[in-house]
Amino acid sequence: MRPGVLRTPDECFANLPGYPFDPHYLDVTAEGLDPLRMHYLDAGPADGPVALLLHGQPTWSYLYRSVVPVLVDRGIRVIAPDLIGYGRSDKPANPTDYTFARHIDWVRSLVVGLDLRDLTLVAQDWGGPIGFSVLAAETDRFARVVAANTILHTADPDLADRLTWAVHGTGDSRVVLEEGLVDYLLYTQRAPELQASLFVGAATVNPLPPEVLAAYDAPFPEPAYTAGMRQMIALLPLTRNDVGARIGRRTMRALEQFERPFVTCYSDGDPATRGWETVFAERVPGAAGQNHRTIAGAGHFLQEDAGPELGAAVADIIATI
């Protein structure tokens, strides 16, 4: 492990509720940095269809703990990585080591390194922008997509009045931003310490037990370990000129050519992503004629509020299309 990279001690992950999975690791690469160790879950039959479950900020593969058994019981192999900076994966201590492009490269490196094919991408939160961009670069490896409470950063003016949380350009040089989004971004950059459990607990419909909230904090035993969590919010593209928005527009152009099944599975209680399910359904050819789902009684982290229901929906999609 190179200097300046933190690795959460294994004892931090002992006896986490509902998370009996063995760890797996692969060294992944991104431009400008030495290889880093990425953790991933690998559960289910080795010869089964593969579901790639991607989390976002500030969670890790623990988020999918009630989804994984449902898929495995249906004969599906599950690969659920921890993004670099999260979970059991390595955590560079320098915030500027984390870029949107590198997150894409790291996940792409995992997909290529494991030679995953005929993939079903299941993406939530930042797992969408990252996973969709990996799909754009490795399209032949992906058979279908399940988009669950996620977005694609573009800041395009044509998103005006389409999203519950506004993030779009207007005119030649102005933007319209949801106040709550700006408040969130500023808080995460100014707070002396960040606690993942506070964000997760605030974005579910059902209260989470203390031991579950503690599991979300387990990867971050000291403030130095949270550099990636904090920086990911700073990477949020708010203008058309942001490099992340340019990546998002390039990825959207790729999705506009994606004719394989693309199914949205959004909850009814997540204003932060509300409206994107319609945008994707309209702009991705593979979304036409699909049985798009709405999961009732769930918040942004629908895996916590309705994990088995999400798992069943993904399994049905894999089995039928």
* Residues noted as catalytic: 125, 270, 300
- Nearest residue to 130 via CA among 91, 81, 90: 81
Using DSSP, state whether 69 is helix, strand or coil.
helix
Alpha helices, DSSP H, located in 43-99: 68-73
Q: Please, are residues 174 and 241 in contact by the beta-carbon 8 Å criterion?
A: no
Residue 162 has phi, psi (to 5 degrees) of: -100, -20
Find all residues with CB under 8 Å of 185, minimum gap 6, and list them.
233, 234, 236, 238
Report the distance separating Cα 304 and Cα 205, nearest Å. 9
Report the distance separating Cα 274 and Cα 162, nearest Å. 9
The dihedral of CA 131, 135, 137, 138: what is its sign? positive
The dihedral of CA 140, 143, 149, 154: what is its sign? positive
- Half-sphere exposure in the Cβ direction for 208 (13 Å, CA): 26
Do β-strands 262-267 and 50-54 pair in parallel, antiparallel, or remain unpaired?
A: unpaired
Do β-strands 50-54 and 119-125 pair in parallel, antiparallel, or remain unpaired?
A: parallel
Report the distance separating Cα 267 and Cα 94, nearest Å. 35
Q: Cα–Cα distances in Å, from 17 out to 55, 62, 156, 208, 301?
A: 18, 9, 42, 12, 17
